[in-house]
Amino acid sequence: MKLVAVVACTSGIAHTYIAKEKLINAAESRGHSIRVETQGTIGLEGELTKQEINEADVVIMATDIQTTGNERFENKKLIKVPTNVAVKAAGQLIEKIENELVKE
Catalytic position from the list 9, 34, 59, 60: 9
Q: Is residue 103 exposed (0-12), middle (13-18) or buried (19+ Cβ within 10 Å)?
A: exposed
Residue 72 annotated among the catalytic residues of the structure: no
57 CA to centre of own chain? 12
Q: What residues are annotated to the active site?
A: 9
